[in-house]
């Protein structure tokens, strides 16, 4: 007990010391970036200035807290570090947001299974918007080609590649359903995944230890793991990023659909709903009685996938 | 014997210990999602969003008692205004045959004997307007009024938001696609094509 | 031997000496273990650099060889209780003699478990995120946090209690009962709890119908109480053959009885599960179908599970009808057969089918990569090394103490 407390004390002291250096670092950031040399942390040692700056930033990143415990100041600091690291490592200028949820907003989604034609524009848009790994072809959305007579996507064909729509088939899309009672959140040993006040289930990629228990716990196959380092060609990187959203992931962490948090918190539609050419995807605020999603829930007969599990997904299917 | 009983109790305790985790999480499970949604019946103020550089018009129908906007159509029709050619003169000068005779248009709207002819939607006299079965003149920007005379179910869904789609934003003033933003009015069914991408695993 | 009380530093020195001193055969054995561990370490460094993409796991089968072995060795670790319980509660003299061996095996198994979990992690450097105080420990919600607690607690119990007893014996005095007995009894139910908690890890996931089954925990226990004593029996046979430490043959017959009863209960529960899955086939039975018969042309596990069941039944029968009345060679064969059977069944046979078909109904086979196998064998070798290096000084101290005593 004692030794632990001592350790904590040491951690705190280190933290305090770091803070001041961090502040001066923040001040110097623009100058340093302009000069292209900072020599902040180690300096010398035969390392180039950029390399040592990168290592210093990575070091500070390693000891940062879980996102939910950060003050706004700390959030700004880590965002600044991550933007700088993206520049140093990949030569990309990104703008990272840490925008908070809006009040009285709870996102919900509805999918029209009688409209979807299986074109997969949503899948493609999602991959581009969310900087998904091109190497292993990570996709958050799956579309299943279904035979009539069954409503369970597990009986569908998810690997089709032929002209669509096929006569007498229908199409059903699945992704993370942002369950109100999400089994993945309960499973995570480090609280690296949680539900935001606006209903989005997010992952703090830097806090995730990669045990994949959430993946085993998800009944909808809504989570993806970075088995290797995800790769996106430099010119294809979406530079408008969110800390909890589409920022570049690292190897060994979990990721998932975030309802495009970087877009939706700005009032935009998620990329999938925006890209859908058939209007099968309805997205909106569940707490707004005048929203489209509420109209669907009220006037259409809706159902949810695996409702018997009590996960309360915020993703409904409906028909015309 | 006593000892066995004691050990037995210890066993039970050990087995039961992890169970303590459950009641809390079970009780905390969100039973009230639908209740929460259904109880939210106060209209909310609009969230401000950035403006889109798009031509829109205020719809002539109302949405849940309020106004909404639709994407304008006229600007998207390359040959608008139609009256440039369709004048009172009997035979317009035809230089570019295919273009001016509308031979490029594939008309495939309606089924069998119900198949539509041009004149069933376009106004016979004033080609800059559409007209419905009652002879009511309809602006191209408000074509949903025309489509809705047959497709009234779709129109009802479209007005509410179960059919069609919003443009760009879920927040802010409601701006939705016109019927003709997605459907080609002359051949409204979606075409079949190869999907944009494919999903793994393809190999097994 | 001096009669003076010896110091702690002497204890460590002597233990190291007893651990490492030995003939050429022993040296070759040690070198082989170190070689396998070295290969595992190199393979792990590769995995650490490149990521878990070096394994055969995928987004569908997201746990593989590592977690399978972890699950199985939790069982082996818990099995020490099958010696402690009769020795301390029923005052069984014979089993009391070998309790220490059970505890050494438990420590080795636990070290393997913790290592398997660590090598399975995507971000092993971030484990501090899980430490209460500096990290965020999702307790009591996450069963994984319970498992971390019980595994580490059990490791502490199983290292500190024998350490205390051995240290006392080393100093030629009787250990003070009230100082360690409460912990012995604690470790009895703790052993059950490590098993049940590990089972709950899987059992508590409605997403995976193959695991979400109330029999999983009890069946874990039954199979562990067969496989664990089988390991201990194997170790005892080696000790009997290779060292001068006396192992009474009565111990073997007692262990045999424990194994037979547990193995029969395990087989009964297996029968019960198979009946449930196949008498009234639902879509929840697809995993079982994949395991036993293959699904959609995928049958990677079928030969494994039938081998496992055959070995299981063979081992049980060999133990149940022992015509040699305790011939060590015969028992060795029976123990290896049963141990391997349960290893495959509790490892591969339990973990992989939980993921197949995926929640979206897709069937993907899993086969471990060479790198993954090297890491696994490396961890196994380190477990064997730990057990070896612990047992040797323990036995040395015990036999000296007995000599002095008697």
| Cβ–Cβ < 8 Å for C180, C161 | yes
CB A95 within 8 A of CB A262: no
Q: Is residue C205 less than 8 Å (CB to CB) from chain A?
A: yes
Averaged pLDDT score across all residues of chain A:
88
A189/C137 Cβ within 8 A:
yes
E strand or H helix at B69: strand B69-71
Q: Does C87 touch chain B if contact means CB atoms closer than 8 Å?
A: no
Residue C1 has a pLDDT of 44
Q: By C-alpha distance, which of A223, A302, A212 is closest to C359? A: A223
* For chain B, percent of residues with pLDDT exceeding 90: 49
Tell me if chain C has a CB within 8 Å of the CB of A12. no
- What is the sign, positive or negative, of the torsion defined by CA atoms of A47, A50, A55, A56? positive
- B75 pLDDT band, cuts 50/70/90, is confident
Q: What is the rounded average pLDDT of the residues A126-135?
A: 96
Cβ of C316: how many Cβ atoms within 10 Å?
22
Short-list C159, C269, C137, CA closest to C216: C269
Residue of C nearest to A187 (CA): C142
Sign, CA dihedral C334-C336-C339-C343, equals: negative
Contact C270, C291 (CB under 8 A): no
Across the range C72-90, mean pLDDT stands at: 90
d(CA C270, CA A10): 53
Q: Enumerate the β-bridge partners of residue A202.
A: A194
Q: What is the pTM for the complete model shown?
A: 0.89
Write the Ramachandran bin of C88: left for phi over 0, alpha for psi from -120 to 50, otherwise beta: alpha
Residue B102: its pLDDT value, please? 79
Residue C188 clears pLDDT 50, i.e. is over it: yes
Q: Is residue A41 pLDDT above 60, yes or no?
A: no
CB A116 within 8 A of CB A145: no
pLDDT confidence of residue C406: 60
CA distance to A87, A181, B100, C280, per residue, from A177 (Å): 34, 11, 51, 31
- CB-facing half-sphere around the CA of C253: CA atoms within 13 A: 9
Q: Tell me: the pLDDT tens digits for C58-76?
A: 999 999 999 999 999 999 9
Least confident interval from A104-113, B92-101, C394-403: B92-101
pLDDT of residue A5: 44
Higher-confidence residue: B100 or A118? A118
Judged against a pLDDT cut of 60, whether residue A136 lies above it is answered with yes
pLDDT bracket for residue A9 (50, 70, 90): very low
- The pLDDT tens digits for C122-177 are 999 999 999 888 899 999 999 999 999 999 999 999 999 999 999 999 998 889 99
- Confidence band, pLDDT 50/70/90 cuts, at residue C242: confident
Residue C190 pLDDT grade (very low, low, confident, very high; cuts 50, 70, 90): very high
C58 → chain B, closest CA residue: B201
B164 in reach of chain A (CB within 8 A):
yes
CA-based end-to-end distance of chain C: 15
d(CA C270, CA C279): 14
Count of CB atoms within 10 A of residue A45's CB? 8
Q: What is the pLDDT of residue A26?
A: 44
Query: Which chain C residue lies closest to B12 (C-alpha atoms)?
Result: C189
Chains that touch B (3 or more CB pairs under 8 A): A, C
Asked whether C281 and C227 are in contact (CB, 8 A), the reply is: no
- Higher pLDDT pick, A31 / C375: C375
Amino acid C53: pLDDT: 96
- Rounded CA-CA distance A187/C281 in Å is 29
Cα dist from B8 to A3, B11, C76, C216, whole Å? 36, 5, 22, 21
What pLDDT was estimated at residue B7?
Answer: 62
pLDDT at position B2 = 60
* Chain B residues within an 8 Å CB radius of A115: 163
Percent of chain C with pLDDT over 70: 99
Give the dihedral of Cα atoms C2, C3, C9, C14; nearest 10 deg. Answer: 50
Proportion of chain C above pLDDT 90, given as a percent: 77
Q: Does C354 reach chain A within 8 Å, measured CB to CB?
A: yes
Residues in CB range of B131: below 8 A, 6 or more apart: B121, B122, B123, B124, B137, B138, B146
CA A178, chain centre distance (Å):
12
Q: Which residue has the higher pLDDT, B193 or B84?
A: B193
Contact status, residue A12 vs residue C135, Cβ threshold 8 Å: no
d(CA C165, CA C183): 12
Q: What HEC string does chain C produce?
A: CCCCCCCHHHHHHHHHHHHHCCCHHHHHHHHHHHHHHHHHHHHHHHHHHHCHHHCCCCCCCCCCHHHHHHHHHHHHHHCCHHHHHHHHHCCCHHHHHHHHHHHHHHHHHHHHHHHHHHHHCCCHHHHHHHCCCCCCCCCCCCHHHHHHHHHHHHHHHHHHHHHHHHHHHHCCCCCCHHHHHHHHHHHHHHHHHHHHHHHHHHHCCCCCCCCCCCCHHHHHHHHHHHHHHHHHHHHHHHHHHHCCCCCCHHHHHHHHHHHHHHHHHHHHHHHHHHHHHHHCCCHHHHHHHHHHCCECCECCCHHHHHHHHHHHHHHHHHHHCCCCCCCHHHHHHHHHHHHHHHHHHHCHHHHHHHHCCCCCCCCCCCCCCHHHHHHHHHHHHHHHHHHHHHHHHHHHHHHHHHHHHC
- Summarize the confidence of residues A83-95 as an average pLDDT: 95
Q: For chain C, what is the mean pLDDT?
A: 92
What lies within 8 Å, CB to CB, of B34 at 6+ separation is: none
Give the residue from chain B lying closest to A161, CA to CA. Answer: B198
Query: With an 8 Å Cβ cutoff, are B162 and A267 in contact?
Result: no
Do C192 and B11 make contact, defined as CB atoms within 8 angstroms? yes
pLDDT at A295 > cutoff 70: yes
| Distance of alpha carbon A107 from alpha carbon C224, whole angstroms | 47
- Across A15-19, A158-162, C41-45, C242-246, the highest mean pLDDT is recorded for C41-45
On the question of pLDDT at B53 being above 70, the answer is yes
Q: Which pLDDT score is estimated for A37? A: 41
Q: Is B127:B121 a contact under the CB 8 Å cutoff?
A: no
In this prediction, residue A241 carries a pLDDT of 97
What are the chain B neighbours of C188 within 8 Å (beta carbons)?
Answer: 7, 10-11
pLDDT tops 70 at residue A116: yes
Higher pLDDT, A125 or B107: A125
C242: its two tokens: 């290779």
Residue A180 C-alpha, separation from nearest chain B C-alpha, in angstroms: 6
- Span C179-208, average pLDDT: 93
> Average pLDDT for residues A145-162, to the nearest whole number?
92
| C207:A213 CB<8 A | no
Answer yes or no: are the C-beta atoms of A261 and A202 closer than 8 Å: yes
| The two three-digit tokens of residue A290, written as one number | 């005048």
Task: Report, as an integer, the average pLDDT of A269-289.
Answer: 97
Closest in A264, A277, A294 to B182, CB measured = A277
Rg (CA), chain C: 22
Which element (helix H / strand E) includes A57? helix A49-62
Q: Is A82 exposed, middle or buried (0-12, 13-18, 19+ CB in 10 A)?
A: buried
CB of B171 within 8 Å of a chain A CB? The answer is yes
**Chain C residue nearest residue A10, CA to CA:** C134
pLDDT (mean) for A133-157? 94
Which pLDDT belongs to residue B11? Answer: 60
Higher-confidence position of A45 and A61: A61
Eight-state DSSP code of residue B164: S
- CA-based R_g, chain B, Å: 30
Q: Is the pLDDT of residue A67 over 60?
A: yes
pLDDT, one tens digit per residue, over A200-240 is: 999 999 999 999 999 999 999 999 999 999 999 999 999 99
CB proximity B195 to A under 8 Å:
yes
Given a cut of 90, is residue A101 above it in pLDDT? yes
Overall average pLDDT of the A72-99 stretch? 95
Q: Are A242 and A265 in contact (CB under 8 A)?
A: yes
The pLDDT value given to residue A47: 73
pLDDT digits (tens, 9 = 90+) for B122-165: 998 888 999 998 999 999 999 999 999 999 999 999 999 999 99
Is the ipTM, as predicted for this complex, more than 0.90?
Answer: yes
pLDDT digits (tens, 9 = 90+) for A42-55: 444 567 898 999 99
Confirm if C365 and C353 have CB atoms less than 8 A apart.
Answer: no
Question: What was the pLDDT predicted at A8?
Answer: 43
Average pLDDT along chain B: 82
Say what the pLDDT of residue B144 is: 95
- The mean-pLDDT minimum among A30-39, B182-191, C66-75, C256-265 falls in A30-39
d(CA C388, CA A165): 65
Most confident among B28-32, B172-176, B199-203, C8-12 (mean pLDDT) = B172-176
């Amino acid at each position: 007990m004692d030794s632990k407390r001592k350790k904590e004390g040491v951690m705190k002291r280190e933290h305090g010391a770091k803070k001041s250096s961090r502040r001066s670092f923040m001040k110097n950031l623009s100058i340093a970036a302009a000069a292209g040399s900072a020599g902040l942390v180690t300096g010398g040692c035969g390392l180039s200035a950029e390399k040592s700056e990168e290592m210093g930033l990575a070091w500070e990143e390693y000891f940062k807290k879980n996102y939910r415990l950060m003050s706004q100041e700390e959030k700004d600091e880590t965002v600044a570090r991550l933007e700088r690291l993206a520049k140093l490592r990949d030569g990309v200028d990104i703008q990272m947001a840490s925008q908070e949820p809006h009040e009285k907003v709870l996102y919900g989604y509805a999918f029209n299974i009688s409209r979807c034609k299986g074109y997969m524009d949503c899948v493609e848009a999602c991959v581009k918007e969310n900087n998904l790994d091109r190497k292993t072809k990570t996709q958050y959305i799956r579309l299943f080609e279904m035979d009539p007579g069954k409503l369970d996507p597990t009986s569908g064909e998810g690997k089709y590649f032929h002209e669509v729509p096929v006569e007498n088939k229908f199409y059903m899309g699945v992704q993370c359903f942002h369950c109100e009672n999400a089994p993945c959140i309960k499973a995570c040993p480090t609280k690296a995944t949680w539900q935001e006040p606006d209903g989005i289930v997010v992952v703090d990629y830097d806090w995730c230890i990669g045990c994949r228990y959430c993946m085993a716990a998800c009944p909808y196959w809504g989570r993806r793991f970075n088995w290797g380092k995800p790769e996106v060609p430099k010119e294809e990187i979406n530079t408008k990023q969110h800390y909890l959203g589409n920022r570049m992931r690292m190897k060994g962490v979990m990721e998932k659909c975030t309802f495009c948090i970087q877009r939706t918190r700005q009032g935009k539609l998620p990329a999938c709903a925006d890209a859908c050419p058939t209007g099968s995807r309805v997205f909106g605020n569940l707490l707004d009685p005048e929203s489209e999603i509420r109209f669907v829930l009220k006037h259409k007969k809706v159902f949810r996938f695996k409702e018997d599990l009590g996960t309360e997904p915020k993703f409904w299917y409906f028909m015309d | 014997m006593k000892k066995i009983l004691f050990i037995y109790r210890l066993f039970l305790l050990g087995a039961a210990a992890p169970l303590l985790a459950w009641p809390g999480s079970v009780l905390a499970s969100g039973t009230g999602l639908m209740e929460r949604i259904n109880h939210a019946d106060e209209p909310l103020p609009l969230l401000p969003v950035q403006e889109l550089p798009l031509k829109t018009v205020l719809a002539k129908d109302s949405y849940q008692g309020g106004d909404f906007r639709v994407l304008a159509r006229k600007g998207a029709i390359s040959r608008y205004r139609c009256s440039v050619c369709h004048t009172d003169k009997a035979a317009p000068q035809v230089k570019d045959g295919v273009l001016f005779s509308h031979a490029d248009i594939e008309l495939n709207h309606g089924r069998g004997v119900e198949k539509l002819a041009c004149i069933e939607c376009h106004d016979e006299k004033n080609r800059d307007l559409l007209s419905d079965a009652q002879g009511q003149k309809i602006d191209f920007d408000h074509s949903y009024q025309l489509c809705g005379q047959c497709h009234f179910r779709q129109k009802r869904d479209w007005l509410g938001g179960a059919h069609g789609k919003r443009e760009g934003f879920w927040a802010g003033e409601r701006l939705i696609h016109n019927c003709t933003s997605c459907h080609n009015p002359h051949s409204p069914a979606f075409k079949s094509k190869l999907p944009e991408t494919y999903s793994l695993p393809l190999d097994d | 031997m001096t009669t003076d009380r010896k110091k702690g530093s002497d204890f460590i020195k002597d233990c190291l000496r007893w651990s490492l001193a030995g003939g050429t055969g022993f040296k070759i054995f040690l070198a082989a273990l170190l070689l396998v561990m070295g290969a595992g370490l190199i393979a792990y460094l590769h995995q650490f650099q490149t990521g878990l993409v070096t394994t055969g796991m995928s987004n569908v089968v997201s746990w593989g060889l590592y977690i399978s072995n972890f699950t199985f060795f939790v069982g082996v670790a818990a099995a020490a209780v099958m010696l402690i319980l009769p020795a301390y509660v029923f005052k069984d003299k014979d089993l009391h003699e070998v309790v220490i061996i059970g505890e050494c095996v438990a420590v080795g198994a636990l070290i393997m478990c913790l290592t398997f979990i660590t090598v399975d992690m995507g971000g092993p450097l971030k484990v501090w995120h899980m430490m209460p105080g500096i990290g965020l420990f999702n307790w009591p919600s996450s069963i994984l946090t319970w498992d971390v607690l019980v595994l580490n607690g059990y490791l502490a119990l199983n290292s500190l209690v024998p350490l205390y007893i051995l240290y006392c014996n080393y100093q030629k005095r009787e250990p003070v009962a009230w100082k360690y007995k409460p912990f012995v009894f604690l470790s009895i139910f703790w052993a059950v709890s490590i098993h049940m908690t590990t089972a709950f890890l899987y059992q508590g996931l409605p997403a995976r119908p193959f695991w979400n089954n109330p029999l999983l925990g009890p069946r874990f226990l039954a199979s562990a109480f067969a496989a664990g004593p089988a390991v201990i029996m194997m170790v005892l046979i080696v000790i009997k053959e290779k060292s001068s430490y006396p192992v009474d043959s009565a111990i073997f017959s007692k262990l045999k009885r424990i194994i037979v009863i547990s193995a029969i209960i395990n087989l009964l529960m297996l029968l019960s599960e198979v009946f449930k899955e196949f008498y009234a086939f639902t879509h929840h039975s697809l995993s079982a179908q994949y395991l036993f018969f293959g699904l959609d042309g995928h049958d990677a596990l079928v030969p494994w599970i039938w081998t496992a069941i055959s070995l299981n039944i063979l081992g049980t029968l060999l133990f149940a009808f022992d015509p040699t009345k305790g011939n060590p060679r015969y028992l060795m064969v029976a123990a290896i057969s049963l141990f391997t059977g349960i290893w495959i069944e509790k490892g591969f046979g339990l973990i992989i089918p939980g993921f197949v078909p995926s929640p979206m109904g897709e069937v993907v086979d899993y086969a471990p990569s060479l790198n993954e196998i090297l890491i696994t064998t490396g961890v196994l070798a380190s477990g064997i090394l730990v057990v070896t290096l612990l047992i040797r000084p323990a036995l040395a101290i015990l036999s000296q103490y007995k000599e002095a005593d008697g």
